[in-house]
Chain A
Amino acid sequence: EDKVVQSPLSLVVHEGDTVTLNCSYEVTNFRSLLWYKQEKKAPTFLFMLTSSGIEKKSGRLSSILDKKELFSILNITATQTGDSAVYLCAVGIAGGTSYGKLTFGQGTILTVHP
C-alpha cells in the first residue's frame, strides 16, 4: 500500500523563525513529489520534485528531494503570519491505471504568531 507520512503534524512558531517540514514516502513506481499550501479551501501548488538533490526555490520557500532515503523537506525562512496554513505533501505514481493519481500525506498545520 502506498504511504506518505508528514511530520510534524502541527507546528507553532513566531514571525522570523525558519521552519522545516518533512515528508517521507513508501510507494511503488514513484514519479514525482508535490508540495501544496492550503489556507481555507483549495490547495495551491508550491513545488514539484522529480530528481534527487536539486533544490527548488520560490522566494522564502525551498524544497529538495532525496530519492534514496525516500523523503523530501520544505523549508520556509523568515516566516510571516501569511505562511500560516496546512502544508500538504503528495506523491505521484507512474504506470497502469494509477497514472496521474496522487497519494497525500496528513498535512502539517503551520501557525505563525506575530
Chain B
Amino acid sequence: DGGITQSPKYLFRKEGQNVTLSCEQNLNHDAMYWYRQDPGQGLRLIYYSQIVNDFQKGDIAEGYSVSREKKESFPLTVTSAQKNPTAFYLCASSSDRRIDSNYGYTFGSGTRLTVV
C-alpha cells in the first residue's frame, strides 16, 4: 500500500544537539511538507517542497533545515538554533502541486520530539 512513513515515532534530544526526522513517501507525489503541532495551535508550516532540489520556507522555518534530493524523501533537521523544539512533527505530501482532489493531503503518522 502507498503511504508516508515517518521515523522515528518518538525522539529525545539533548539541548544543543541537531536531530533529523525522516519522511519517505511511495505515492509518487510531487510536493512534500513539514508541519509542527503544539497543543492549542493547530499545524504550522515549517518548510515545503514542490519539486526535487527545491524547497521554500514556511511560516516558522527558523531553526530548521530540509533537503529534497529524491522525490520520495524530505528529511527535516531540527538544529540547536531552534529554541523550543519539543513538539509533534507531521510530514505530508500532495500530488501535482495541486490539492484539487477529494483526498487532499496524505499525512504521515508523526514524530514526537522531546528535548531533555
- Pairwise interchain contact B42-A102, C-beta atoms closer than 8 A: no
Q: Which of A79-114 contact B (CB under 8 A)?
A: 88, 90, 92, 97, 99-107
CB distance from A107 to the nearest CB of B (A): 5
A101 CB contacts on chain B under 8 angstroms: 33, 45, 48, 58
Looking at the assembled complex, report how far the CB atom of B96 sits from the nearest CB atom of chain A, in whole angstroms: 9
**A-B pairs with beta carbons under 8 A, tally:** 66
| Nearest CB of A to B107, in Å | 4
Mask, A5-23, CB within 8 Å of B = 1, is 0100100000000000000
Contact present for B108 and A42 (CB under 8 Å): yes
30 sampled A-B residue pairs with Cβ under 8 A: A4-B42, A6-B42, A31-B99, A32-B100, A34-B99, A42-B107, A42-B108, A42-B110, A43-B90, A43-B107, A45-B104, A48-B99, A48-B101, A48-B102, A90-B43, A97-B56, A99-B50, A99-B97, A99-B98, A100-B50, A100-B94, A100-B97, A101-B33, A102-B33, A102-B43, A102-B99, A104-B42, A104-B43, A105-B42, A107-B42
Residue A75, interface by CB 8 Å: no
Interface check A68, CB cutoff 8 A: no
The secondary-structure label for the interface of chain B is: loop
Known: A42-B110, A90-B43. 17 other contacts (CB 8 A): A6-B42, A32-B100, A41-B110, A42-B107, A45-B104, A48-B102, A88-B42, A88-B43, A92-B99, A97-B56, A100-B50, A102-B105, A103-B45, A104-B35, A104-B42, A104-B44, A107-B40
| Residue B78 interfacial (CB < 8 Å) | no
Q: Report yes or no: B109 in contact with A42, Cβ–Cβ below 8 A.
A: yes
Q: How many residues of B contact A (CB 8 A)?
A: 28
A10 to chain B, nearest CB (A): 9
Identify the A interface with B (CB < 8 A).
4, 6, 9, 31-32, 34, 36, 41-43, 45, 48, 50, 88, 90, 92, 97, 99-107
Give the distance to chain A from B66, nearest Cβ to Cβ, in Å: 14
Specify which chain B residues have a CB less than 8 angstroms from the CB of A104 in the assembled complex: 35, 42-44
Known: A42-B110, A99-B98. A106 touches B104 (CB 8 A): no
